[in-house]
Structure 1
Amino acid sequence: MSYDDEQGYGSRDSGGRGDDAYSTMGGTRQTRTRLPEGYPGTPHGRRPARNSRSLVMAAGVVVLLIAAIAFANLGGGDSDDSAAPSTPGTSRSDSTGGTAPTAPTGTQPVTGKTDGIASGFAHDQQGAQSAAANYAVALGSAGMFDAQTRHSILQATHNPAVVDGLQTDTDTAYSPAFLKAVGLNEDGSTPEGLSFVSRTVPVGTKTTAFAGESATVEVWCTGLVGLAGQGSTKPVTETWFTITEKLVWVEDDWKINSSSQVEGPTPVSGDNRASTADEISGAVEGYGGFTYAR
C-alpha cells in the first residue's frame, strides 16, 4: 500500500481511529468465496476493543493522521444503500437462488502503471473499487516513510487539486522524531540488520455511493507493520481496519479526493505459531504484492 480522517468507511462517518489509525493504501483476477454466517470479523465475532496501543501501531497510523490533517476541510458524500456490495466474500448466485462454484469475477486487471502503482481503471463501479484497493496498498507501504517515494505515491493516487497541500502535511507528519519513534533512523532509513515492514492487504471492497464522476468505496484491510530482525524491539504485528476513499474521475482515471479510516472489523486471532524474525524478513522480501481488479 501503507494518511484522522483519512478514512472511515461508508456510513461510518463518525469515529475515525484518531491517533491509532493505521493508514494506508498490489495482478490476477480475483475469486469470490462465500464465508459462513457468523464468520469472525462480523459484529458477533469481533474482539473487544483494546484499551492500549503499541508504539508499532503508530507507524501504521501515520497515513491516517496525514489524511486527517490534509482532508479535514473536505466534506463527505452521502451513502447509497442501493449500491450493490461487491466483495471477495460473496460467490455468484445462479438464477435459482443457489450459489455457483467459486469462479473469477470482474474485469481483467489493469495493465497501466504510474510510478509502479496500477492506473488506467475502468470508468465504472468495478474500476472505482479496483482503484481504491490498489491505492490502499500503495498508501500503506513502506515507501510512505521515504520523502521522495512518498511524494510519488501521493501524486499517483490523488486528485492533483489536493496533492500539494497533502505533500506538505505528510512531510510534517513524517518528522525525524516520528521516524525515530517507530524504530527507523531520523532520515527514514532502516537500522542495520533489521527489515522495516509496512504492508496493507485488501480483503474486500464495497461501493457505497456512485454518481458517474465520483464514487465512495470502502476497503476492508489487514496490515503488517513493525521491524523484523534479531534484536528488534518493535516486532511486526497485524492490524485490521476499513478505509473509505472518496474518488473523483479526473484525467481519465479514478483519483482519491479524500479518505478516512476506522478500526476493524477484526477477526478472532487464530492459533498460528508466531514466525521468527528471520522468517518474517524473508517473507516480506520474497513475496510481492498484487494488482487488484474487481
Structure 2
Amino acid sequence: MSLGDDAGQTRIRLPEGDDGDPYGGARRGGRTSSRSLVTVVGVVVLLIAAIAFANRGGEDSASEEASADSPRAAATAPTGEKPVTSKAAGIPAGFAHDRQGAESAAANYAVALGSGEMFNKVRRDAILGSIIVPARVADFEATLDKAYTAKFNQNVGLNEDGTTPKGFTFVSRTSPIGTKVTESSPDTATVEVWCSGLLGLAGESSTNPVTSSWFTITMQLEWTANDWKIVTHSQKDGPAPVPGDERASSADEMAKAVEEYGGFTYAR
C-alpha cells in the first residue's frame, strides 16, 4: 500500500473458479514435470554447495569478521543483532544504532504500515506517532487521512467507517522478504524492504477476496530519541515472482489461517 498521492486507489484481481467460491479455481496443469525437474536440480545444487562449504574450513573467517556491519543473507541461520525486546504502541522499538538496526526497524515498520490497524484512525495515529520523526507526524497523519476515506474502505470491502462487515475476516498484511541499505551515515539510513502483501475480505460471499501482491518500500530513516524513525516513505511494485501452481484456498481456509498464524519481530 503506497503512502503517496495514489494511495486511495485499489486494484483487485479476482481468482478464477468454477464452483462459485471466489477463492476457488482448478490447479493449473502442464508444468508438473518441469517443476519436478527443477526441484531435483535444485537439490543437487544445494548438496554440492553444502559439500563445498564444509570443505572450505575457516579460510573466510577474517573477511566475514571485517564485514560484520553488512551481514550476508542466510537462509538457515540468524545474522547480526538479537531481536528487540521492547515495544512502542505495540510495534517493536529500541533498535540497534547501526546499519543492522536500521534494516530491522525498516522491516518492522513496513509490517506496521501494511497492517489492518491502519484502517482505524485511532490506531493509525498511534502507529505514526511511534515510527515517524516527530517533525513529520502531522504531515503523515494529514496525508493518510485523505487516503483512508469512506470510499477507499468500501473499495477493499470494509464498511465506510473502516470496520469489517459481519461474517467476514479482513486481511491486510505485509511480510518483508529482505532488506537492503542503499545509503547510510552514523545517524541516517535509506533502506529498501522487499515485501509480499495480502489484502481483501475472507468470506463465502466476498466480492473482494484476499489477493497477494509484491512491492518494494523505500524508507529514509533518522536516529531520533534513541531509535530509528521514518523521515520519508515511498513504494513501487515488484519484483514479483512467476505465480506457482498452488490451488487458491477456500474462504474458510484463508480466514482460519489469518486468525491462527501470527506475525514476527524482524531483525538482522
Residue in structure 2 matched with residue 152 of structure 1 by the alignment = 126
Residue in structure 2 matched with residue 275 of structure 1 by the alignment = 249
Residue in structure 2 matched with residue 212 of structure 1 by the alignment = 186
Normalised to the residue count of structure 2, the TM-score between the two structures is 0.75
Greater radius of gyration (CA): 2
> Separation in 2 of the partners of 1:182 and 1:282?
19
* Alignment check: 8 A CA contact 2:200 2:209 kept: yes
* CA pair 292-267 structure 1, distance change in 2 beyond 3 A: same
Residue in structure 1 matched with residue 166 of structure 2 by the alignment = 192
* CA pair 21-181 structure 1, distance change in 2 beyond 3 A: closer
In the TM superposition, 1:51-200 aligns within 5 A as: 53-54=11-12, 96=59, 102-200=76-174
The structure where helix makes up a greater share of residues is: 2
Structure 1 residues not aligned, in runs of 5+ = 7-17, 23-52, 57-90
- Structure scoring higher RCO (CA < 8 A, sep ≥ 6) equals 1
Identity %: 55
User: Given the alignment, which residue of 218, 237, 240 partners 2:211?
Assistant: 237
* Alignment check: 8 A CA contact 1:241 1:261 kept: yes
> Separation in 1 of the partners of 2:252 and 2:174?
20
> Separation in 2 of the partners of 1:260 and 1:246?
9
* Alignment check: 8 A CA contact 1:176 1:188 kept: yes
* Alignment check: 8 A CA contact 2:13 2:211 kept: no
Once the two structures are TM-superposed, the CA of residue 257 in structure 1 deviates from its matched residue by 0.3
Deviations along 1:65-87, one digit per CA (max 9) or x if unpaired, are xxxxxxxxxxxxxxxxxxxxxxx
* CA pair 133-195 structure 1, distance change in 2 beyond 3 A: same
* CA pair 189-243 structure 1, distance change in 2 beyond 3 A: same
> Separation in 2 of the partners of 1:144 and 1:19?
13
Structure 2 residues not aligned, in runs of 5+ = 15-49, 62-71
| AA partner of residue 114 (structure 2) | G
Once the two structures are TM-superposed, the CA of residue 104 in structure 1 deviates from its matched residue by 2.1
* Alignment check: 8 A CA contact 1:222 1:241 kept: yes
* CA pair 94-113 structure 1, distance change in 2 beyond 3 A: farther
Note the aligned Cα RMSD (angstroms): 2.7
Q: Which moved more, 1:162-171 or 1:261-270?
A: 162-171
> Separation in 2 of the partners of 1:279 and 1:142?
19
> Separation in 2 of the partners of 1:272 and 1:164?
43
Normalised to the residue count of structure 1, the TM-score between the two structures is 0.69
* CA pair 269-152 structure 1, distance change in 2 beyond 3 A: same
* Alignment check: 8 A CA contact 1:125 1:207 kept: yes
Once the two structures are TM-superposed, the CA of residue 101 in structure 1 deviates from its matched residue by 9.0
Number of residues paired by the alignment? 218
